[in-house]
Structure 1
Amino acid sequence: MKLLSKHIERDSSGTVTLVPEEGEDMWHTYNLLCAGDQLKASTVRRIVSESSTGSTDKSSVRIQLTVSVEDVYFDTQAAVLRVNGRNIVENKHVKLGAYHTIDLELNRPYTLGKQEWDIISLERIENACDVSKRADIAAVVLQEGFANVCLVTENMTVVRQRIETNIPRKRRGTTTDHDKGLNRFYDQIMQAVIRHVDFTIVKALLIASPGFVKDNFYKYLMENAIKMNSKVLLENKSKIVLVHCSSGHKHALAEILQEPAIQTRLSDTKYACELRTLENFYKMLFNEPAKAFYGVRHVLKAAERNAIASLMITDGLFRSANVTERKKYINLVETVRAAGGNVLIFSSLHTSGEQLTQLTGVAAILHFPLPDIEEEVEIEEEAERRAAQGVLGPRPEDDDVEEDLTISLGS
């Protein structure tokens, strides 16, 4: 991402002009856009003109249009970003208030205006424009007859190609059909690697599978690289790492990236740090549950007491259409940082982010145990349930306590 200009006023309103240079920049833009924002960009509009004779002519023109954002759609596989909204600046081709969908394009600038630029959005721009923070990893996750060729960046895990083929079983006395099927399968994977993996960028190419499938594919890959005299594969042989995993599905990436050998190679990346912190959280939740909490209520209470050592939160929570809800999470981040805690914003397009989403999207490791938080939250939730049901007064157990006290005083 390239930053062309930034104008932020004292009240936090303002505009930034950015140029998306690669697919991941579209993901950053998707996270920046909120309903009510103003987006100015180059777009194509279909125009219908009518001649004096009554005949109509259809044509397409490229124009600069500014819309008030209403809906945003992002295709993770194609890295396509579409923004729908009403035109708010007069244009001879588009009436004020008319709807238009802008397809943002790579290497074409856009200007984004907000009533309030929060710290999360500004940090995302800063990180997106910092080339040094790139850390791409390529991975082939496979099992016999099934493979995923993936690209893992700081913010996304994208399946570049899924390969599925039927491999004939071995027959008694002959393995010819089976071997031919395997070779066709391996060749498809090899072609996908050549097509999708840019070795000038990636730190490593991970080849992972259950059993010996990875070893057999690696042997096929190197033998054919020599036959084809593929300099790309031969010169980057040192970047290829073989790893064991449980299956050829995308979710196996999480276990692959937690391997000590892989962690060593990727120790300085954001994604590796997220995985380590999440693993530490699970261990703490099992061994010392009073020092590990998930769920908004629990984590907010821990933050109020300046108890959070590490806060984990998914980027999806900052995309909430509810402004109050969004500000709640921004305030949480600022509170934890002000108290000296570490904040990790997980990408919902990573397996680690998917795991955190299953834990409500927010979790924390504490400096010290707070066993009373669980009871406090239970009391609050019970009071809310009773209020929603129209039940007034103390909880049943509180009635029992009062009755016991009356009997005791009476005797």
Structure 2
Amino acid sequence: MKIISVLEDFGENENTIITLVPQTKDDLFTIYQIIDKEDEVIFKKLFTTKKDEVNRKTSTDLVNLRLKILSYEFDIKEEYLRYKGVTVADDTNTANLDVPVGKFLSFSVTYEHQFTIFKHHFNKYAKRLLKEALELETKSDTAAVVLQEGISHVCLLTASSTILKQKTEISMPKKKDATDINKFNEKTEKFYRATYNAMMKNFNFDELRMIILCSPGFYAKALMEKILKYAEKEQNNSILENQEMFIIAHCSTGYLQGITEVLRDPEYSTVLQNTKLIKEIQIMDDFFEHLNKDDNKAWYGKEEIKRAAKLEAVETLLITDTVLKSDDIDERETFLDLTYNIEQSGGRVFVFSTLQSHGEELGRLKGLACILKYPIPDLDEILENK
């Protein structure tokens, strides 16, 4: 993400004005989390205006429009972030020059043009999101290829999602005789070459720290051998000089679930522990382990966790972005203060994306759970007796 400027407006509206240019899917995700209903934006859009009422001539131009946000649609896999809103007065005199106030419009966020956000409540959570978007270590530095016979999925792993960049599928013939075996070998070579080409197209090998090749059986190992063969032939030094970035792992399926299996497998967790995604999965597993043991260290529910926080007993807080992005500003501020107080008392806070599978799991627990520093068997009874 390219940040042009961040300004505090201490005028009547007390907005924080952020001008930026999104550059990746992760940037769209950050924008989705930052912009709330009632915030305002200035963006560029092709707009048709009447130039002459008498002759009814029209002109289509790229103009600046200022909208108050009313709703949004977001699909990170399709790189689709669309807002709907209504035009409002613009005190910067740069937008809505030919468009009346009160007109309902929609627009999609693109990578082509900068746009400006007028943020009414630039709270601690939004500030942290913007800061993280600018830090190199929060960018995607881990990729994965999960495959089985005739099918592969080339993915990038981010804090927000497993992003499928390209799927390769080739129908493999049965091996009944020598002719079929030759055809099978040709198709196999074609399959691995196509997978390699997909990696070259979608991966920046100079920026990645880790590439997981995972599969049932021997397919991941075979792919690694083919990658080195093709790289040697092409003198691709980005691969040849960084072979240690590749990890070969076993999973039960060549589909996307296989990546989650690897991320959860203790055999690979030591190698993968530096990535934010694997840390979140491990924390979820720890929480459910305590819950299944019924050792009174795992709790979920807003009131229970608030009580535990007052006792400074929270070791780890698990909270979804949906809870922190509540439309109720007072509720949002309450949970932002909760996360701050837990961090101040030595606890850890993990914010889970509901676009990721483990974030969905947490969402089914109302988006809030915790692991305590010590057991509190009567935490809910204390609340009932209050």
For Structure 1 versus Structure 2, the TM-score category normalised by the shorter chain is 0.7 to 0.9
**1:365 aligned onto 2:380:** no
Q: Per-residue displacement from partner, 1:184-240 (whole Å, max 9, x unpaired)?
A: 322221111010000121111111011111112222222233334444433333322
Q: Tell me which residue corresponds to 1:150.
A: 155
Decide which of 189, 192, 208 is 1:186's aligned counterpart.
192
TM-score of the pair, normalised by structure 2: 0.86
The offset of 1:304, in angstroms, is 3.7
Q: Tell me which residue corresponds to 2:64.
A: 64
Between the aligned partners of 1:285 and 1:176, the Cα distance in structure 2 is 54
Q: Tell me which residue corresponds to 2:93.
A: none
The DSSP-based 3-state class of the residue aligned with 1:257 is helix
Label 1:21 to 1:235 Cα distance change in 2 as closer, same or farther (>3 A): farther
Matched letter for residue 39 of structure 1: V
Range with greater deviation from structure 2 (252-261 or 285-294): 252-261
Q: Tell me which residue corresponds to 2:83.
A: 83
Larger radius of gyration: 1
1:268-347 → structure 2 map (5 Å cutoff): 268-347=274-353
Q: Is the 8 Å Cα contact of residues 264 and 281 (structure 2) preserved in structure 1?
A: yes
Between the aligned partners of 1:298 and 1:195, the Cα distance in structure 2 is 49
The DSSP-based 3-state class of the residue aligned with 1:289 is coil
The DSSP-based 3-state class of the residue aligned with 1:142 is strand
Between the aligned partners of 2:333 and 2:285, the Cα distance in structure 1 is 28
Decide which of 167, 170, 180 is 1:165's aligned counterpart.
170
Between the aligned partners of 1:330 and 1:172, the Cα distance in structure 2 is 67
Between the aligned partners of 1:50 and 1:374, the Cα distance in structure 2 is 70
Between the aligned partners of 1:144 and 1:295, the Cα distance in structure 2 is 45
Decide which of 104, 121, 130 is 2:126's aligned counterpart.
121
Q: Per-residue displacement from partner, 1:65-108 (whole Å, max 9, x unpaired)?
A: 21111112223124232221111026232110101223333364
Q: Tell me which residue corresponds to 1:404.
A: none
The DSSP-based 3-state class of the residue aligned with 1:154 is coil
Q: Is the 8 Å Cα contact of residues 28 and 76 (structure 2) preserved in structure 1?
A: no
**1:37 aligned onto 2:39:** yes
Range with greater deviation from structure 2 (10-19 or 305-314): 10-19
Decide which of 105, 109, 113 is 1:104's aligned counterpart.
109
The offset of 1:48, in angstroms, is 4.4
TM-score of the pair, normalised by structure 1: 0.82
Root-mean-square deviation over aligned CA pairs: 2.8
Range with greater deviation from structure 2 (234-243 or 121-130): 234-243
Matched letter for residue 334 of structure 1: Y
Label 1:199 to 1:268 Cα distance change in 2 as closer, same or farther (>3 A): same
Between the aligned partners of 1:89 and 1:11, the Cα distance in structure 2 is 14
Between the aligned partners of 2:175 and 2:304, the Cα distance in structure 1 is 56
Matched letter for residue 131 of structure 2: E
Label 1:100 to 1:11 Cα distance change in 2 as closer, same or farther (>3 A): closer
The DSSP-based 3-state class of the residue aligned with 2:342 is helix
The DSSP-based 3-state class of the residue aligned with 1:39 is strand
Between the aligned partners of 2:135 and 2:13, the Cα distance in structure 1 is 22
Range with greater deviation from structure 2 (163-172 or 340-349): 163-172
Q: Is the 8 Å Cα contact of residues 86 and 105 (structure 2) preserved in structure 1?
A: yes
Between the aligned partners of 2:55 and 2:79, the Cα distance in structure 1 is 44
The DSSP-based 3-state class of the residue aligned with 2:296 is helix
Q: Tell me which residue corresponds to 1:397.
A: none
Label 1:12 to 1:156 Cα distance change in 2 as closer, same or farther (>3 A): farther
Label 1:262 to 1:108 Cα distance change in 2 as closer, same or farther (>3 A): farther
Q: Tell me which residue corresponds to 1:16.
A: 17
The DSSP-based 3-state class of the residue aligned with 1:116 is coil
Between the aligned partners of 1:64 and 1:282, the Cα distance in structure 2 is 50
**How many residues are paired up?**
377
Q: Is the 8 Å Cα contact of residues 74 and 80 (structure 2) preserved in structure 1?
A: yes
The offset of 1:265, in angstroms, is 4.0
Matched letter for residue 89 of structure 1: A
Q: Is the 8 Å Cα contact of residues 141 and 250 (structure 1) preserved in structure 2?
A: yes
Between the aligned partners of 1:255 and 1:62, the Cα distance in structure 2 is 47
Between the aligned partners of 1:234 and 1:161, the Cα distance in structure 2 is 23
Q: Tell me which residue corresponds to 2:97.
A: 92
Which runs of 5 or more residues in structure 1 are unaligned? Answer: 381-411
